[in-house]
Amino acid sequence: MTAIKVYDEIINFIAEGTTPEKVIAFRPSAEAQKRAEELLYKEKNQSLTPEEKSELDYFMVIEHLMRMAKARAYQLLAAS
């Protein structure tokens, strides 16, 4: 799986329209989770190629973005 495919998952999620509940429930695909775990394991126990490091960096940005979106979704639900 490439970082572009992970971005595609997020882009599709947003483009399909969403609600705070859907944001909170969103989970990456099993394939994306497995790839992130592989990269994290390799980073800790071996070494990453420059391409793998870039891919892991993309994962981390996406992870942060989704955490922030989920936090905001919880705030929106609490306010309503």
**Position 44, amino acid:** K
pLDDT band with cut points at 50, 70 and 90 for residue 6: confident
pLDDT band with cut points at 50, 70 and 90 for residue 1: low
For position 17, what pLDDT does the model report?
87
pTM of the model: 0.78
Local structure of residue 46 (DSSP, 8 states): S
Q: Report CA torsion sign: 49, 30, 33, 25.
A: positive
Q: How remote is the C-alpha of 59 from its chain's centroid?
A: 6
Burial (Cβ within 10 Å: 0-12, 13-18, ≥19) of residue 35: buried
pLDDT average, residue stretch 32-56: 93
Closest CA to 51 of 31, 42, 20: 42
